[in-house]
Each structure stands twice: as C-alpha cells, then as structure tokens.
Amino acid sequence: MSWFKRENGDYESGSGPENAADSAERTVRTEGLWIKCVGCRAVIFKADLESNLNVCPKCQHHFKIGARARIDLLLEPGYELVDGGLRSTDPLNFTDVKPYKRRLRAAQEATGLDDAILNAIGQLGTHSVVLSAMEYAFIGGSMGAVVGETIARAVDRARIGRKPLIVVAASGGARMMEGVVSLMQMAKISSALAQLDDAHVPYICVLTDPTTGGVTASFAMLGDLNIAEPGALIGFAGPRVIEQTIRQKLPEGFQRSEFLLEKGFLDAVVQRRNLKSYLIRALDFLKAPAVA
C-alpha cells in the first residue's frame, strides 16, 4: 500500500526532477563491481579478483578465464595470433531448441571469436612456442570441425618449426551439433600428435576447469606433460552421469585435478600464478640435450 501519492507531476520541495537527476549523477553504480566466489561464497571486489589472476584470494578457487587472457598470461608481449578466420559451415543444418547457425552467431558476437579456439606463436620465457588456447565461453568450448582443424594446424606448425606445443584445454567435449564431424577431430588431432612425437617435439597440455568428453578422450591426455589447475573438473562423462549409471556415490573430489594427480592421471597440479614459470622450467628440461 502506498502512503503517499504524487499527482500531476507534483513533487515536494527539493525532490523535483532536477534534484532527482542531480542525485542520480551522485549515485555510485556498484552493479558488476563485486562477485561471489563459488568456492567459499565470499564476496570479492572484482578489481581485486582480476589483479589476482581471477583466483579467489581467500580459498584459491580458480575462476574460468578466456582464451585471450590465457595467451596474455603465458606469452611475452608481441606474440602473433595465427590460423584465424575459420568458421563452421553447419554441416548437418542442425536445429534443436534453436538453429545451430543462430547459436554460432550469438557466440561469435559474445566472444569476438570465430570459434572456441585461438592459436598464437610467441615467446614463453626464452622458448619460442606454439600455443593453442580454448575458449569455454564459446558454446562450452565444444570441439567441432573448426576447433579440430585449428589445433591440427597448431600441431603442424610446431612439428615443422620444431617449436614446443602447448595446448590449454577448457571444453565440455565434442560439439554434438556437428555429429560425427566433431568426433572425427579426436582421431585427426591424435594422429597429428603422433607425428609430433615421432619428430621429438615437446607437447604440454594444461587442463583447466572443465576438460571433459571427447577432448579428454583425445589430445588433452596425450601430452608429454599433463598438468592441471587446482580444482579443475577433468573426465570423460561427468560425475552426475556416472552416479546415475552405476547407482553409487562417488568419492569426495572425484574427477577433480587433485584426485587425478593422486591416481596417476596427471603429472602436476599448478597454481595459476606459478603456471608460466612452471612451463618454462618444464621446457628447459624437455629441450635439454640428452646426456650420453
């Protein structure tokens, strides 16, 4: 129930439209300045979170970051983006709740990317590397023909140029809207990586939250060194699907990076702030000449 009613635009003294506009100008907009951590539920000033590499300063929860931010984090300034301009042709003319073409346009507009991947060449410390970073914000980082072709090109660049390859995985798996075309990318990338291995060129995969489905079942687990960020969900099927299938409660932390490290599926779990220095040390070791 309203206790006061204004009619015909009448305002009390000092509360007219001009004063209201002045008040609005003096109001500090706080929307988007704070974010709640999904790990500890603490409310964090967004600028503080960003200055801490999007890692919660209280519980160390690692928030998702985009492909461009990954490249900026790892490579020295002056890197070059390559292998761009590829876009899906919607080979199946797929429609579910909405047409796949519309999903693609929306994702392209939201992220500014052609698909869920960026390739770059540049320096990581003293090492000249090829870096391929996945973008989870683009249809869940799903792997279709464009993602598969782009990563395959990164593998070829690394092999021909004899530069170490680093892939940062962040994906819900193969893109169902492209059907078997997306599944073919698993074999395509894996066979390219076999050639890279034959050429004795180092390959490191960084698994981030989440890395699941066909991506985990192919290139994400084929690195000479497989490392992950803390708390990352890594697996083929998700834990909820597994529980519903086997009708058993899964262990605490199942499919998280720490659990996989304990079981021998990963070589290391590395904090984001230490990731670049860790990769540099790893490349120093992998590229060191063998001692006779």
- Asked if residue 104 and residue 30 are part of one domain, the reply reads no
pLDDT per residue as tens digits for the range 104-142: 999 999 999 999 999 999 999 999 999 999 999 999 999
**Which residue segment(s) compose the domain that 51 sits in?**
15-63
Q: At 54, is the secondary structure helix, strand, or coil?
A: coil
- Residue after which a domain boundary falls, among 6, 39, 63: 63
Rounded CA-CA distance 94/100 in Å is 6
> Predicted confidence band at 77 (pLDDT cuts at 50, 70, 90)?
very high
- Asked if residue 89 and residue 31 are part of one domain, the reply reads no
pLDDT per residue as tens digits for the range 166-219: 999 999 999 999 999 999 999 999 999 999 999 999 999 999 999 999 999 999
pLDDT recorded at residue 292 = 45
- Asked if residue 250 and residue 183 are part of one domain, the reply reads yes
- Asked if residue 26 and residue 95 are part of one domain, the reply reads no
> Predicted confidence band at 8 (pLDDT cuts at 50, 70, 90)?
low
Q: Domain of 108: which CATH number?
A: 3.90.226.10
The pTM score is: 0.86
> Predicted confidence band at 32 (pLDDT cuts at 50, 70, 90)?
confident
Beta-ladder partners of 100: none
- Asked if residue 72 and residue 46 are part of one domain, the reply reads no
- Asked if residue 125 and residue 211 are part of one domain, the reply reads yes
- Asked if residue 113 and residue 246 are part of one domain, the reply reads yes
pLDDT recorded at residue 7 = 53
- Asked if residue 42 and residue 75 are part of one domain, the reply reads no
Percent of the chain past pLDDT 70, that is, above it, reads 88
Angle at 289 between CA 284 and CA 292, to 5 degrees: 140
Q: In what helix (H) or strand (E) does residue 192 lie, and over which residues does it extend?
A: helix 180-198
**Across all residues in the chain, what is the average pLDDT?**
90
10, pLDDT greater than 80: no
- Asked if residue 88 and residue 53 are part of one domain, the reply reads no
Within a domain: residue 291? no
Rounded CA-CA distance 32/272 in Å is 24
Within a domain: residue 8? no
Within a domain: residue 122? yes
- Asked if residue 157 and residue 252 are part of one domain, the reply reads yes
Rounded CA-CA distance 149/203 in Å is 17
> Predicted confidence band at 238 (pLDDT cuts at 50, 70, 90)?
confident
CA-nearest of 17, 20, 55 to 39 is 55
Which CA distances in Å does 278 have to 15, 54, 153, 281?
A: 60, 18, 25, 5
Within a domain: residue 58? yes
- Asked if residue 174 and residue 29 are part of one domain, the reply reads no
User: What are phi and psi for residue 104, nearest 5 degrees?
Assistant: -60, -45
Could you give the number of structural domains in the chain? 2
Within a domain: residue 24? yes
